[in-house]
Amino acid sequence: MLERRYIYPGIIEMNYQAGHRLGCNIYLIDGGSEWLLIDIGYEDTVDEIIDLIRQMDFPLAACKTLIATHADADHVQGMTKAQDILKTSISGHPLAVEPLASGDPVMTYAEIKAQDIFVEMKPCQIDTLIDEGDIIQVGDKQLEVWHTPGHTNNQLALRIDNLLMSGDNIYRDGCVGVIDAHHGSDIPDFIQSLKRIRDSDISWLLPSHGPIFKKENALLEKTIERLSEYQFMSDFGTCAVDWPLLQAWDREITEGHYPKIEPMRTD
């Protein structure tokens, strides 16, 4: 049996577990009697992810659901393949249903013609709708669903104790998920989602890309101020040529540096 690398009681992040970057962050929530996955990434890494789950001795039949944090290809392209193997349901926000069912290449960010990017996006059926305020019970764990639009209109974040699996809302370097009108982004909504995270009692942010990090209100405030300016700047775009945070994260996970978050005190 492969040793389970929990970053917090009941939470395994599959890139840290693998010891190398698989793609987007994929969180396995272990509720004891059952488990679920938050996002799955691209189709070509599904076999490796499921093999790791087998090696950690999780019964495949005990997978409660696969949660799509939002309808972007880099998070969900492998959903249908994973569902076929695990014989489980797919859960997501109501606004993710149509772009996933149609395999919309623009709304799922699978196709960016100007940058010669094309990822095959097979249609994917959401079986269970989840939205703001819902509680997902997985064994002895509970996930609280937050609807945090901005990056996309269907972006979800999921809270467990004082941790937030925060999707593409914000990363450790203060960057945020791509903002593109063709993709359904909305800057005022994004700002409100970031303010909600800032004003919450969350202590740790578990993003969809890059390293896990402690919530720092100063970082969030700086990002909120930057996005507030973007509302009035015609030169804003999404043409970054590199993202140094991911290179730093590559080094951290291959060197075995991964977070071990102390359980929340209840006294």
Q: What is the pLDDT of residues 167-195, one digit of tens each?
A: 999 999 999 999 988 888 999 999 999 99
Dihedral angle at the C-alpha atoms of 206, 209, 215, 216, nearest 10 degrees? 180
Tell me: pLDDT of 218 over 80: yes
pLDDT of the residue at 117 = 84
Cβ within 8 Å of residue 65, ≥6 positions away: 36, 88, 89, 90, 91, 127, 128, 136
Tell me: pLDDT of 207 over 70: yes
Cβ within 8 Å of residue 241, ≥6 positions away: none
CA 205/CA 259 separation, integer angstroms: 11
CA 221/CA 160 separation, integer angstroms: 23
User: Could you give the percent of the chain with pLDDT greater than 70?
Assistant: 97
Please name each of the domains of the chain with its CATH number. 6-254 (3.60.15.10)
Dihedral angle at the C-alpha atoms of 248, 35, 29, 2, nearest 10 degrees? -50
Q: Are 103 and 59 in contact (CB under 8 A)?
A: no
CA 188/CA 28 separation, integer angstroms: 31
pTM score of the predicted model = 0.93
The helix (H) or strand (E) run that includes residue 68 is none
At 199, give phi and psi (nearest 5°).
Answer: -85, -5
Q: What is the pLDDT of residues 54-112, one digit of tens each?
A: 999 999 999 999 999 999 999 999 999 999 999 999 999 999 999 999 999 999 999 98
Tell me: pLDDT of 243 over 90: no
At 90, give phi and psi (nearest 5°).
Answer: -115, 130
pLDDT of the residue at 122 = 86
Q: Which residues pair with 129 in a beta bridge?
A: 92
